[in-house]
Structure 1
Amino acid sequence: MASRAITRHELTRRREQLHDLQRYLAVLEADHDGARAKLLGFRQRYLEALGPLMRELDELEGQLQQATALLFEALKRQGLEAPMPAMPQAKAWPEIPALPEAVPLPPEPTGPLTDLPPPSLKTLYRRAAMRFHPDLAPSGPEREVCEQRMMVVNDAYANGDRGRLESLLLAAGESPEKVIGGPADAVRAWLGLCEHMVQGRIRIVQAQTAWLHSQQMHQLRIAIERAETGGMRPLDIMAARLRAQIAERRQELYIGERVGGDARLAADFLRQRYRRLTGLGLG
């Protein structure tokens, strides 16, 4: 069955649509990469300013948990009950992955102009006549073959038998595009596949960008940069709070390591630590 022709106008329109999709995708990818770069830069600045203090605080919490466990076991051996708070979990920043590599679009089908429609029956007849007319053949056996073929051509044209004319021309070596038209179906399939691939990539980029914007670190970056624009120094304030917490934990650790000989003080220490970590009171 002959391929449905694709007009030059339709081909141009579909290519423009594909290019519009690709331009839109390029904008989305640039926006994503910009947002990711800002987030990575902020994370680096945040960790440089606060990372050492956070690590020091985490180490103190670990030492406090060891001291707490020792007090808990000591009270347990004495038959006394006291709460054993769980070790607070340090929050780790999630990885900020880059976009996956895009799958390259397949090459456009090559060949002659794809907007060549299948030729008319009359055009096929003329082409067949130019190939098989006896007057164009040398005398002898070859001329006789052309006479027989021309009879078939005339009969096919008289009966509107396009298939026979196509078969004769193709068997004689005529270009398929000149007989049945350009490879329109292949071009349509290529355009459809490219559009599908670009639209799929757009969905991936949009989902990844939405994930970036949903991260707590993104919200923190926005808040800190907004405060800095207003003349504040939020990272310095956060660093001061961390130093205050470190001083409190050191004092707490000092107490926790020295109350083991007094069951009442040890139990009070565990209750206070439980209350601080959970925010819950004990009856």
Structure 2
Amino acid sequence: MNNSALSRHGLARRRAQLQDLQRYLHSQEDEFRELHGKLRAFVDRYVETLGSAYLELDALESQLHTATQYLAEALRRNGISARTPCAPQATALPTIPFLPATAPLPPEPAVGLVDLPPPSLKTLYRRAAMRLHPDFADTEQERQRREQAMMAVNEAYAAERRTQLETLLLAAGEDPVKVTGGNADALRAWLSRCETAVQGRLRVVQAHRVALEAHPMHQLWQAITRAESMGLAPFSVMVNRLHSQIAERRQELYIGQRLQPEPGLAEDFLRRRIERMGAHVGSR
């Protein structure tokens, strides 16, 4: 098998490997999108079921914080040392990460594989002279640069150093096909860039898949799915628990808004509020 056939065979093999890699990447992206869609549906159900209760609880916590601030300030005005409870943090409704858009692959050389006999050494020399001859200079500085380049061209031609002539021509902007007779190197470089891009995208997809599966909402989704498969109703339990907390905060707010800034009950109320908020913040 000649060098031309070897080049074609190698390029065809690498192109087929790139296509296999792209198909695998697309399958991984499809799996991520399917998992993301299922988790998104669960998150929507979670927010629809519990979102209003969390908002009501957050509103009560905010009102309660305002009431306890007023009470603590009133106690301090009466000469009683009183700390102000920590401000409550709003409940963050769950969000899940999206997969970033992929960048397009670099464009393939338009002419495909070009495989021609390489030009003779004399042809390379003539092309180098046409590109680098000092008579084509526009400025004195450019003329000096061309003179130095032509000296290198003459030396390379005299010594029959084809590789050096090719390097000088390519540096001067000559079409690689006209220098080497083919563009196999350009196609190999394009395939390498495509392979790097697809492998990088695959790492991004796999990292996002791992992060999605480690997300707290994914774990909750799995737990609730298992519970519901056994005939349980975990969402009902969660709703009832939130309603119990709402009832407790309403009662606490009712008391806090009516307490007088005097020792005893008011101090005890603030102390319990501070303890609860400290434990609440620490659990987040």
Aligned to 1:68: 68
Aligned residue type for 1:24: Y
Paired residue for 2:15? 15
Cα pair 2:99 2:205 within 8 Å, conserved = yes
Aligned to 2:82: 82
The match for 1:172 is none
Which residue in 1 is equivalent to 2:58? 58
TM-score by length of 2: 0.72
Amino acid at match of 1:189: A
State how 1:38-57 maps to structure 2 within 5 Å. 38-57=38-57
Give aligned pairs, total.
229
Residue 55 of structure 2 aligns with an amino acid whose one-letter code is R
- 1:119 offset after TM fit, Å? 6.4
Q: Report the alpha carbon displacement of residue 62 of structure 1 after superposing the two structures with TM.
A: 0.7
C-alpha distance in 1 between matches for 2:105 and 2:211: 26
| 1:93 CA displacement | 3.4
3-state SS of paired residue (2:246): helix
Q: Quick one: distance in 2 between partners of 1:110 and 1:54?
A: 59
> Aligned AA for 1:212?
L
Any idea what SS the aligned residue of 1:109 has? Answer: coil
What do residues 200-232 of structure 1 show as CA deviations (whole Å, max 9, x unaligned)? Answer: 111221222222223212211111112111211
- Match of 2:37? 37
User: Contact conserved, 2:113 with 2:187, CA < 8 A, in 1?
Assistant: no
CA distance in 2, matches of 1:74, 1:185: 82
Deviation of 1:233 after TM superposition, in Å, equals 0.8
Instruction: Please give the secondary structure, in 2, of the residue aligned with 1:111.
Output: coil
1:153 matched residue in structure 2: none
- Report the Cα offset of residue 42 of structure 1: 1.1
Q: Does residue 277 of structure 2 align to residue 267 of structure 1?
A: no
Unpaired segments of 5 or more residues in structure 2?
121-159, 167-175
Q: Distance in 2 between matches of 1:177 and 1:256?
A: 86
Q: Are the aligned partners of 2:113 and 2:184 in contact in 1 as well (CA < 8 Å)? A: no
Distance 1:50 1:179 in 2: 70
> How many angstroms apart in 2 are the aligned matches of 1:261 and 1:191?
78
Q: SS at the partner of 2:59?
A: helix
Q: Secondary structure at the match of 1:209?
A: helix
1:28 corresponds in structure 2 to: 28
Residue 52 of structure 1 aligns with an amino acid whose one-letter code is: S
Are residues 86 and 178 of structure 1, via their aligned partners in 2, closer, same or farther at CA, if it must alter by over 3 Å? closer
Change beyond 3 A, Cα 1:237–1:95: closer
Q: Cα–Cα, structure 1 residues 263 and 177, in superposed 2: closer, same or farther, change >3 Å?
A: closer
Q: Are the counterparts in 2 of residues 99 and 208 from structure 1 also a CA contact under 8 Å?
A: yes
Q: In the TM superposition, what whole-angstrom CA distance separates every residue of 1:37-92 from its partner, at most 9, and x where no partner exists?
A: 12211111001111111111111101110110011001111121233221221231
Shift of 1:117: 7.0
Q: Is the 8 A contact 1:118 1:179 kept in 2?
A: no
Decide whether the 8 Å contact of 2:39 with 2:218 is kept in 1: yes
| Aligned amino acid, residue 85 of structure 1 | P
Maintained 8 Å contact 1:112/1:182: no
Contact in 2 for aligned 1:118/1:178 (Cα 8 Å):
no
Gapped regions of structure 1 (runs ≥ 5): 122-160, 168-175
Return the alpha-carbon distance in structure 2 between the equivalents of residues 215 and 89 of structure 1: 21
Normalised to the residue count of structure 1, the TM-score between the two structures is 0.72
Distance in 1 separating the partners of 2:57 and 2:177: 76
RMSD over equivalenced CA pairs, Å: 3.0
State the alpha-carbon separation in 1 of the partners of residues 190 and 85 from structure 2. Answer: 63
Summarize the Cα distance change of 1:94–1:236 in structure 2 as closer, same or farther, 3 Å threshold. closer
The Cα of 1:177 is off from its aligned counterpart by: 6.1
Give the Å deviation of 1:21. Answer: 1.2
Q: SS of the residue aligned with 1:7?
A: helix
Amino acid at match of 1:183: N
| Identical counterparts, % of pairs | 52
Q: Does 1:226 align with 2:252?
A: no
What are the equivalent positions in structure 2 for 1:130-209 lying under 5 Å apart?
Answer: 180-209=180-209
Q: Deviations over 1:119-165 (max 9, x none)?
A: 699xxxxxxxxxxxxxxxxxxxxxxxxxxxxxxxxxxxxxxx897xx
